Structure 1
Amino acid sequence: INSVSVSVPSYEEQQKIGSFFKQLDDTIALHQHKLDLLKEQKKGYLQKMFPKNGEKVPELRFAGFADDWELRKLTDITSSYSGLTYSPTDIQDTGTFVLRSSNVKNDQLIDADNVYVNPDIVNSINVKVGDVIIVVRNGSRTLIGKHAIVNEEMPNTVIGAFMSAFRGENGNYVNALLSTENFQKEVHKSLGATINQITGKDFSMMIFPTPKFEEQQKIGTFFKQLDDTIALHQRKLDLLKEQKKGFLQKMFV
């Protein structure tokens, strides 16, 4: 360290620069804290608004609903479809967008390492609003089961071969269900000792306590609003971090 030379401004300018970045770091820390708190709140609501193992009703539910939840197969409450298989030679700079594992982060769809293929080879259906996409095969076991819901129209967009998607009128509810500990337990049960994938057959064997459609809608809407708030804070935090990066590049020689 003693051999490193750096360009330094006057002490007064150092103070100004230091104070500026301290305020920026404090703002970033505040948004990070809010984001962490929201994620913890979501985790708590998931535990309380879905029945625990062996129970017929959740700890917390909306007014007007008192019926027991019924055990139902996941494949009975939503339909599913598979993704597109393509080869490296099908990839091009523009074309049909293929949603893959890299496009799913924090239960949201993102732009990351995007892949486009020749539209002429596409033989799978286009995603639509309300579809819930899920990673069903991956080299990393920890990524199996991560998911996100399609919140806006995405023309000329399909899912990749290592993904599956659920489609129905209760997408927001299904998306919330996939975030519960009960679903994660089913995923790990299906993975076995060596295989890093879950199949359509695995999904057909998953059974969960399920409320009537009206209550599903209420629960789904609640978690969608919570997810939207989390996504908003995440975007603000990412923007602040990018701003800091830009200021560091411009305010130091």
Structure 2
Amino acid sequence: MRFTYFEDVWEQRELREVANHRGGTAIEKYFDENGKYKVISIGSYGLDSQYIDQGIRAISNEVTDSRVVHKGELTMVLNDKTSNGTIIGRSLLINIDNEFVINQRTEVISPKENLDSSFAYVILNGPFRKKVKRIVQGGTQIYVNYPAVERLYFELPPIDEQIKIGTFFSNLDYLITLHQSKLDKLKTIKQSLLQKMFI
């Protein structure tokens, strides 16, 4: 299924052909509750591939500043605390500059000009992640190495079609979040009414 008017052939590309990367490092000794940066680590990846704020912060210094994630970049978690792989290979799309820093076992993926960030987010959390899960190593705690990940391929449409696809799914995610928020509020109201009626 494709959007109307797009007819160009999608090309196979390895991730390393369309994105640069840089890895994380252990920054636990720079954690500080009053730190400048929100820390992205294994616990920051939700099952819906949305950021979970664990309240962990890191100070700004030479080490952490070199691991800051920029707007339009993505992060990918390279390990999982469980053997079933619910988190491994998930990616976050960063939409704000100088707010997040990566910890170890997270890779920053920086799309080149022929890869749209929103499209990359859709692909990396969809068909590409299935391929990542096929190359995991380890037992009770599984992991992948990024050099193997970046050699995996996916189908890449022309940039204008990527933008269309990325925008479509971004809007869909927004609607889902909006309705989930309304649903959560209704559940809270219901609980409150039940307590008031039956106490």
- TM category (shorter chain) comes to 0.7 to 0.9
Matched, 1:143 2:83: no
Secondary structure at 2:130's aligned position in 1? Answer: helix
Map 1:22-33 onto structure 2 (within 5 A): none
Distance 1:84 1:91 in 2: 13
Partner of 2:23: 82
Distance 1:249 1:94 in 2: 38
Distance 2:52 2:193 in 1: 25
Secondary structure at 1:166's aligned position in 2? Answer: strand
Matched, 1:210 2:156: yes
Partner of 1:103: 44
TM-score normalised according to structure 2 size: 0.81
Partner of 2:104: 161
Distance 1:92 1:218, change over 3 A: same
Distance 1:242 1:129 in 2: 34
Deviations 1:72-131 (A, max 9, x none): 1012122222224223x43221102212233332122233x2211232352433222222
Distance 1:101 1:193, change over 3 A: closer
Partner of 2:122: 176
Deviations 1:36-61 (A, max 9, x none): xxxxxxxxxxxxxxxxxxxxxxxx11
Distance 2:157 2:110 in 1: 18
Counting helix residues as a fraction of each chain, which structure ranks higher?
1
Partner of 1:71: 12
Shift of 1:242: 4.0
Secondary structure at 2:165's aligned position in 1? Answer: helix
Contact 1:103 1:114 in 2 (8 A): no
Matched, 1:132 2:74: yes
Count of aligned residue pairs for this structure pair: 190
Q: Which runs of 5+ in 1 are unaligned?
A: 1-59
Q: Which runs of 5+ in 2 are unaligned?
A: none
Shift of 1:136: 1.1
Counting strand residues as a fraction of each chain, which structure ranks higher?
2
Task: Tell me the amino acid that sits aligned with residue 91 of structure 1.
Answer: F
Secondary structure at 1:230's aligned position in 2? Answer: helix
Shift of 1:245: 5.0
Distance 1:138 1:241, change over 3 A: same
Distance 1:134 1:246 in 2: 39
Partner of 1:191: 136
Distance 1:211 1:94, change over 3 A: same
* Aligned-pair identity (%): 29
